[in-house]
Structure 1
Amino acid sequence: MDVEGRASKGKSLTLNLEQGQQEKGTQNDDYGLASAHAIDQDSWQQVGLMLVTSFNCGWILSFSNLVMWPLGWTWGIICLIVVGFYTAYANWLLAAFHFIDDRRFIRYRDLMGYVYGKSMYHLTWVFQFLTLLLGNMGFILLGGKALKAINSEFSDSPLRLQYYIVITGAAYFLYSFFIPTISAMRNWLGASAVLTFTYIILLLIVLVKDGKSRSNRDYDLSGSEVSKVFNAFGAISAIIVANTSGLLPEIQSTLRKPAVKNMRKALYLQYTVGVLFYYGVTVMGYWAYGTMVSAYLPENLSGPKWINVLINAIVFLQSIVSQHMFVAPIHEALDTKFLEIDKAMHSGENLKRLFLLRAFFFTGNTFVAAAFPFMGDFVNFLGSFSLVPLTFMFPSMVFIKVKGRTARIEKKAWHWFNIVFSFLLTIATTISAIRLIVNNIQKYHFFADA
């Protein structure tokens, strides 16, 4: 029986946490394990460190403006805590569905397609890839802004942002060519961790110094009531982006047995050690500058010059490694389709194809990022209509399908609440994101030197 037949006739599915774990290519169906990338290799410590460093990338330098500025102290802290716990729970739940009916699902779209049919497979594919594409453009903008900030410290007329966007895109391309998979990042995670904690510690020192020297900080929310509501939903989108990626099954696929237990250990590391730093920077940035906080926090720093240069340089270097996790599922899909997966990744023919695939991808993404340099919009937009369903709605839908017949009524009610609430939140945050984009289109032109 095919997947859509199974779904339409309502036959129950069986949750199986670890059985059925096989080597790649052994599942003989539409949702098998055939992949050009490594499966079942990494330790939970490696994946946990990757999550901590990747979510503490330079994007956290925007969250004081995107999260705290629209919400203020009270609602800002409440939303950070509530959305953080809710996101952690949703990922913890999704990790359990890595194995169903003695099958392992290494891709989110495969999981949704097996449980709900081809339509959900394609919808999940669109949501995921749109999120990851927009996220990668945001990373390219981030790297470009960091390089321009360095140039601005030494020149009163720095080069246009687009030059630095191109440099960033080229750097990301080279890294993804030589380090093509998530598992291959293992030798770079130590250096990424050192860079991450160095720039965050330096940043916090400057924030404390600037905050103490400013006695007239303003924390009052401005704008009309309608604007405050829309801005608040945009802030919620940004908090979701700060905490989740929409690609947990793809990350989980790299883990050794037991994959569910190990994924949850990695999540515990992210939502304790990791969240301490990116929430800390978010709150301290708002404390130091209030409503004057910039969309790119280093623009507020008082100096000295060498710290500003060092922080921006580290942000650029760290982003080269951290961006790779968020775009790896797209690379995996392209590599699996176009490479000869029975041969080594860097064999002769595969090397040429890999070069062309990476060059094509980053050329397109770099061009779009240069044409639309609105970094905050990318954060809010990917956190709205695509990331909200991937994080909150779809895991509860899978629970209803897999365990709905045997679960207690209060659990079913809870997951139906999640589905309805996530649907409404998706509508609200998407409207807010579109409104922000429309406003910025009116302010900026194509290839603006933002």
Structure 2
Amino acid sequence: METVTPNLMEAYAGEQKQNIAVAGPPKELDAGALFVLKSQGSWLHVGYHLTTSIVAPVLLSLPFAMALLGWVGGVICVALSGLVTFYSYNLMSIVLEHQEKLGHRQLRFRDMARDILGPAWGKYFVGPLQFWICYGAVIACTLLGGQSLKFIYLLSDPDGTMKLYHFIIMFGGVTLFLAQMPSFHSLRHINLVSLILCLAYSSCVTAGCIYIGHTNNAPRKDYSLKGSTKDHYFGIFNGISIISTTYASGIIPEIQATLAPPVKGKMLKGLCVCYSVIVTTYFSVAISGYWSFGNQAMVTVLSNFMGVEKPLLPTWFLVMTNVFTLMQLVAVTVVYLQPTNEVFEKKFADPKMDQFSIRNIVPRLILRSLTVVVATIFAAMSVILLVGVGAVASVRQIVLDAKTYRLFANM
């Protein structure tokens, strides 16, 4: 035994050295990793980034998801989704930490895919998929930001004539300014404010739901599942998908890349910060919203606050809640721009020159501005397309009703 144990230890040490030798020396960073994914952050900064990437106004749909699942199913699904995603994100961070120990730090999702699935999968499938998911989130946030701005406008001027696309353009203008932040790490203060804002509007929504639930204007509380058995099954799948979406983040490796080495244990601390906010906000909004409105909960609980004939809460309270939501949407939009920024920076910037040299600033300014402008155009176009779909649906309904109403009966 005295000779076996040292031999085993020597063999293990030799294997570790061999693994490091296989990994090779660290490669020279490209401009995307060097400038956008700058590794200077602490675990607290990672907590801010994670919270902004996961906790967003989509959590205001949780009461609606609860209405599709019921009390038991809804609470279990919210809790189970939290446990599963926390475990999976932590497991991913451990894999990334292990690769760093071997001298091969993976900074992006496509880097992981390249080493796990192969170069072709990383370049042609995982990379483009992540790019379009994150860019789709930017477009969706721009649309939601415009809707939130319009809601605030209509609360202050119910007879206002401004259109939704006007507010989408305004939101895009704010995003255009913040998109010029040079790196993911430089967003740490914005994301701290974002964390505070999501706590603020979640507290407002929870307080509003509790207030409405105790007033005479409260809707009749009915916690039964609406519709037929078939509707129940579809509702279950819909509710699960909504809850799963609220926990989603497509930029975990990019967030971990902002950590200053060594990264061991830092990501777990950041996840604990993030999930402490998640537990506080998700359960309070989901339970209070469902308790107050039951199966009448709408897709976003803010719609329930408007009531049938008049708002159920004071106008100033509704404006304040929407301002908090709007401001956090800006931070979420800028965070999900980072993978796009990284791709363009890698392609068009020169890593051998200073990040703030004219050679790198000019293409960065043009490409990031173009990215935001295109996202804003797509968000505004979606409104026009929805109007077009509504017009087609109206014509279709006229055709279907023609046999009933006899359009030419008097001829």
Report if TM-score (shorter chain) is over 0.5: yes
Matches of 1:145 and 1:173, distance apart in 2: 18
1:445–1:239 Cα change, 3 Å? farther
1:89 aligns with 2:91: no
Match of 1:75 in 2: 73
1:290 aligns with 2:294: yes
1:76–1:348 Cα change, 3 Å? same
Alpha-carbon contact 1:69-1:290 (below 8 Å) kept: yes
Alpha-carbon contact 1:55-1:278 (below 8 Å) kept: no
1:342 aligns with 2:342: no
Unaligned runs of 5+ in 1: 1-13, 375-439
Report the number of matched residues.
Answer: 362
TM-score, normalising length: structure 2: 0.79
Aligned partner of 2:381 among 371, 389, 406: 371
CA offsets, 1:87-128, max 9 Å, x none? 111111111121434311001111111122123212211321
Matches of 2:350 and 2:223, distance apart in 1: 57
SS at structure 1 position matched to 2:27: coil
Aligned partner of 1:168 among 168, 171, 176: 171
CA offsets, 1:149-188, max 9 Å, x none? 11111223342222111111221121111x2322001232
How far does residue 291 in structure 1 lie from its aligned partner after superposition?
Answer: 2.5
Q: Write the letter of the residue equivalent to 2:262.
A: P
Q: Matches of residues 81-230 of structure 1 in structure 2 within 5 Å?
A: 81-98=79-96, 99-100=98-99, 101-121=102-122, 122-158=124-160, 159-177=162-180, 179-213=181-215, 214=218, 216-230=220-234
SS at structure 1 position matched to 2:225: coil
SS at structure 2 position matched to 1:145: helix
Q: Relative contact order (alpha carbons < 8 A, sep ≥ 6): 1 or 2 greater?
A: 2
Match of 2:402 in 1: none
How far does residue 322 in structure 1 lie from its aligned partner after superposition?
Answer: 2.7
Q: Write the letter of the residue equivalent to 2:205.
A: L
Alpha-carbon contact 1:53-1:274 (below 8 Å) kept: no
Match of 1:424 in 2: none
TM-score, normalising length: structure 1: 0.73
Matches of 1:442 and 1:229, distance apart in 2: 31
1:351 aligns with 2:357: no
Matches of 1:443 and 1:222, distance apart in 2: 28
1:76–1:363 Cα change, 3 Å? same
Alpha-carbon contact 1:32-1:105 (below 8 Å) kept: no
SS at structure 1 position matched to 2:195: helix
Match of 2:43 in 1: 44
Q: Give percent identity, aligned residues only.
A: 26
- Greater gyration radius: 2
How far does residue 373 in structure 1 lie from its aligned partner after superposition?
Answer: 5.0
SS at structure 1 position matched to 2:41: coil
SS at structure 1 position matched to 2:265: helix
Alpha-carbon contact 2:141-2:332 (below 8 Å) kept: no
SS at structure 2 position matched to 1:106: coil
Deviates more, 1:189-198 or 1:363-372: 189-198
SS at structure 1 position matched to 2:214: helix
Matches of 2:366 and 2:46, distance apart in 1: 28
1:358–1:250 Cα change, 3 Å? same
CA RMSD of aligned residues (A): 3.1
